[in-house]
Amino acid sequence: MPYLFLSTLLLALSGIAQAEDAEIAHLFGKAGVEGTLVIESAATGQRYVHNEARAKQPFTAASTFKVLNTLIALEEGAIAGADEVIAWDGTHYEIEDWNRDQTLKSAFKVSCVWCYQWLARRVGAQAYPSHVRQADYGELREPFNDTEFWLDGSLIVSAEQQVAFLRRVVERSLPYRAGSYDTLRAIMQVDSTPAYRLYAKTGWATRSTPGIGWYVGYVELEENIWLFALNIDTRGATDLPLRQQIVLEALRAKALLPPL
């Protein structure tokens, strides 16, 4: 009988955890966008979810793949570390921050596409399928273009899969070297205060209608780590700030970040 009671209780708690979160739904409504957000405790598995059906739906990974791609590039020896220089070839890009020499650290920060295409060529197409399968990072459809697959829809991933992958990154349970994890952690940090540290990556898939905006990462608190993955339909570049805005407001609403 105790086992039956425990099983019933766990099922009930699971149902509660998966229920639509009204506070987060309000934030999406206020922003006027369609999308999903999953926030999950790395310690307990407690979750807050908006639009669970969409959380399971895969979309083009876009620049969120830079999280895994950084680990891959380091493991495969395509680059030595965060400060190795990636030389600009003089090609002019619309994003001014791309028009200069980069390092792995700066390329991650400004989401430099040509830099990660350079890395992808050095890694080689043959290495990617096994890394993607090993990380259980969505689905990579083959054959694929080795410098476009995370941009053109060949690599798709859901918000739930993003969170599961980030858990493996935080736990360091993938068979990558400690130094590779350390480098990723250093370049992924976007904010640090006495109360928390925020690690994150944006993404924007523009080859579909509507476009898909991503914001994925995790927040380290003293007593816990909270993983998150958001994606939204975007009408244009003016919607991009909503990615971070919604996530940060949701984390504050759940008392996972201090109020402004």
Q: Give the domain CATH number at 138.
A: 3.40.710.10
Query: Would 13 be classed as within a structural domain?
Result: no
Return d(Cα 117, Cα 97) in angstroms, integer. Answer: 16
Q: Is residue 64 part of a domain?
A: yes
Q: What is the pLDDT of residues 54-64, one digit of tens each?
A: 999 999 999 99
Instruction: Note the pLDDT of residue 11.
Output: 41
Please list the ranges in the chain whose pLDDT falls under 70.
1-18
Q: Is residue 186 part of a domain?
A: yes
Dihedral of the alpha carbons of 236, 119, 146, 157, in degrees to the nearest 10 = -50
Angle between helices 241-253 and 22-31 (to 10 degrees): 150
For 203, list phi and psi in degrees, rounded to 5: -160, 150
Q: What is the pTM of this model?
A: 0.92
Residue ranges making up the domain that contains 178: 18-253
User: How many CB atoms are located within 10 Å of the residue 214 CB?
Assistant: 27
CA 239 to CA 34: how far, in whole Å? Answer: 11
Token representation of residue 58: 């895969």
**Residue 233 β-bridge partners:** 212
Per the annotation, the verdict on 41 as an active-site residue is no
- Give pLDDT tens digits for 137-156: 999 999 999 999 999 999 99
Does a structural domain hold residue 258? no
Decide if 12 is inside a domain: no
**Which among 63, 111, 154, 180 is annotated as catalytic?**
63
Residue 1, pLDDT score: 39
Number of structural domains in the chain: 1
The answer to whether position 6 is within a domain reads no
Question: According to the model, what pLDDT value does residue 260 have?
Answer: 85
Domain annotation covers residue 34? yes
Q: How far is CA 202 from CA 124, 154, 215, 240, in A?
A: 24, 19, 5, 9
pLDDT value of position 18: 61
pLDDT of residue 19: 84
Region label for 38, one of left (φ > 0), alpha (ψ between -120 and 50) or beta (otherwise) = beta
Residue 8 counted as domain residue = no
